[in-house]
Structure 1
Amino acid sequence: MIIKTLLIILFSIIPLSFAQSSPDPVRDIDGNLLRSGTDYYILPVFRGRGGGVTLAPTRTELCPLDVVQANQELDNGLPLTFTPVDPKKGVIRESTDLNIIFSASSICIQSNVWMIEEYDGSLIVSAHGVQGNPGQETLSNWFKIEKFDDDYKIVFCPAVCDVCRPLCGDIGVEIDENGRRRLAISDVPFKVMFKKA
Structure 2
Amino acid sequence: MKIKHVAFLLVFALISQPLLGAGESVHEPVIDTSGEKLRADSNYHIIPAVPFTICGFVSCFTGGGLALGSIDDESCPLDVVVEKADEGLPLRFLPFNTKKGVIRVSTDLNIFFSDADERCPHHSTVWRLGDFDASTGQTYVTTGGVVGSPNQHTILNWFQIHKYEDAYKLVYCHGVCPSCQHSCKDVGVFVDGNRRMHLALSDDPFKVKFKRA
TM-score by length of 2: 0.83
Structure 1 CA distance for aligned equivalents of residues 212 and 19 of structure 2: 37
Structure 1 CA distance for aligned equivalents of residues 20 and 91 of structure 2: 37
Q: Which amino acid aligns with 2:45?
A: Y
Say if 2:76 is the partner of 1:63: yes
| 1:118-175 residue CA offsets vs partner (Å, 9 max, x unmatched) | 1423211001111111221110011111111101110112111111221321111111
Q: CA deviation at 1:3?
A: 3.2
Structure 1 CA distance for aligned equivalents of residues 18 and 191 of structure 2: 51
Q: Which amino acid aligns with 1:56?
A: G
Task: Indicate the residue corresponding to 2:5 in structure 1.
Answer: 2
Identify the match of residue 129 of structure 1 among 139, 145, 158.
145
Task: Indicate the residue corresponding to 1:34 in structure 2.
Answer: 38
4+ residue stretches of structure 1 with deviation over 6 A? none
TM-score by length of 1: 0.90
CA RMSD in angstroms comes to: 2.1
Q: CA deviation at 1:191?
A: 0.8
Name structure 2 gaps, 5 residues minimum.
54-61
Residues 17 and 193 from structure 1, CA distance in 2 versus in 1: closer, same or farther, beyond 3 angstroms?
A: closer
Counterpart of 1:136 in 2: which secondary structure? coil
Task: Indicate the residue corresponding to 2:157 in structure 1.
Answer: 141
Structure 1 CA distance for aligned equivalents of residues 112 and 73 of structure 2: 24
Q: CA deviation at 1:186?
A: 0.8
Structure 1 CA distance for aligned equivalents of residues 165 and 45 of structure 2: 20
Name structure 1 gaps, 5 residues minimum.
none
Identify the match of residue 164 of structure 1 among 175, 180, 190.
180
Counterpart of 2:8 in 1: which secondary structure? helix
Structure 1 CA distance for aligned equivalents of residues 185 and 5 of structure 2: 53
The structure having more radius of gyration, on CA atoms, is 2
| 1:79-108 residue CA offsets vs partner (Å, 9 max, x unmatched) | 000011111111111111110010011021
Identify the match of residue 52 of structure 1 among 62, 65, 69.
65
Q: CA deviation at 1:20?
A: 4.3
Structure 1 CA distance for aligned equivalents of residues 22 and 183 of structure 2: 31
Task: Indicate the residue corresponding to 1:78 in structure 2.
Answer: 89
Report percent identity of matched pairs: 46
Counterpart of 2:153 in 1: which secondary structure? helix
Task: Indicate the residue corresponding to 2:112 in structure 1.
Answer: 101
Q: CA deviation at 1:7?
A: 4.1
Task: Indicate the residue corresponding to 1:114 in structure 2.
Answer: 127
Identify the match of residue 92 of structure 1 among 100, 103, 110.
103
Counterpart of 1:162 in 2: which secondary structure? coil
Structure 1 CA distance for aligned equivalents of residues 16 and 50 of structure 2: 46
Q: CA deviation at 1:5?
A: 3.3
